[in-house]
Amino acid sequence: MAAEHNNQTNQAISHHVELAAAFETLAAGLNKFITTRMQAYLNEDSWTETAANKLGRPNEHGSLDPLFQLLVLRRFWGPVFADHFKQDLRPIISNLIDIRNKWAHFAVPDDPDLIDRAVLGMERILSPISPESSIKIRKIRGRILRKESTIELVDIDVDALEKQLLASQNDFQKLQDVHSSLNKELVLAKKIAAKKQQRLRSIEKQLLIIQDKTLATEAFLLSEQTTRNRIEWLFVGLLAAILLVFVVLN
């Protein structure tokens, strides 16, 4: 019993240490990405103080604090990060915040599946941002899985697998960049089309106004012509009457 208890204790300590390394790697990989985006969004070089105030927490550890980074990702998701991450990462970020809080109080459940999902979530977040950091996370996850496994592992060329993973992630990043570029072009094309549509509507309104004015002018001219004709006939009638009177009197 004592040996089993010691083994569980050692395992819990090992999990705590590995999670610490994973969160440290996550923070290093996210730092530049979050800093660049938050500086642009807040229009401030020293953005951490403003972000901390919006989060309602002190700015104790700066931009390299993994808990602070995760809280920033969740708080500013819509305006700052939604265009880069898939929507299914939002619950993963919330879960990692919970794990980080429990880790800080040595309260993470000794559940290998829970810890594996947490580390895998960090890898997913880092993959499109920092392939090198995601590889480090994968190594940490591999160490955790090896410690949990009772099956003898097959000798694998880890370096070759890491190179393949890095190449795949680089290809993925290129595809993501192309997608982002095409999306920007699509947005621009929609804006141009919207402006053209607005211009056409403006021209249509102007044509309707001109048409209304033309009809009004035609009606006015017709009325004037009718009045003129009446005056001319009255004048002719008057002349005829004068001539008749003149003839009669002579």
**214-221 mean pLDDT:** 82
Q: What angle do CA 90, 95, 98 make, to 5 degrees?
A: 135
The yes-or-no verdict on residue 217 having pLDDT over 60 is: yes
Q: What is the pLDDT of residues 51-76, one digit of tens each?
A: 999 998 887 778 889 999 999 999 99
Give me 183's structure tokens. 């999306």
Mean pLDDT score of the chain:
83
Q: What is the pLDDT of residues 114-160, one digit of tens each?
A: 999 999 999 999 988 998 999 999 999 988 888 766 434 445 565 66
Angle at which helices 66-75 and 48-55 cross, to 10°: 70
**36-64 mean pLDDT:** 88
Note the pLDDT of residue 4. 47
Note the pLDDT of residue 101. 93
The yes-or-no verdict on residue 3 having pLDDT over 50 is: no
Note the pLDDT of residue 5. 47
Instruction: Give the pTM.
Output: 0.58
**98-124 mean pLDDT:** 91
The yes-or-no verdict on residue 10 having pLDDT over 70 is: no
Convert the chain into a string of H (helix), E (strand) and C (coil).
Answer: CHHHHHHHHHHHHHHHHHHHHHHHHHHHHHHHHHHHHHHHHHCCCCCHHHHHHHHCCCCCCHHHCHHHHHHHHHHCHHHHHCCCCCCCHHHHHHHHHHHHHHHHCCCCCCCHHHHHHHHHHHHHHHCCCCHHHHHHHHHHHHHHHHHHCCCCCCCCCHHHHHHHHHHHHHHHHHHHHHHHHHHHHHHHHHHHHHHHHHHHHHHHHHHHHHHHHHHHHHHHHHHHHHHHHHHHHHHHHHHHHHHHHHHHHC
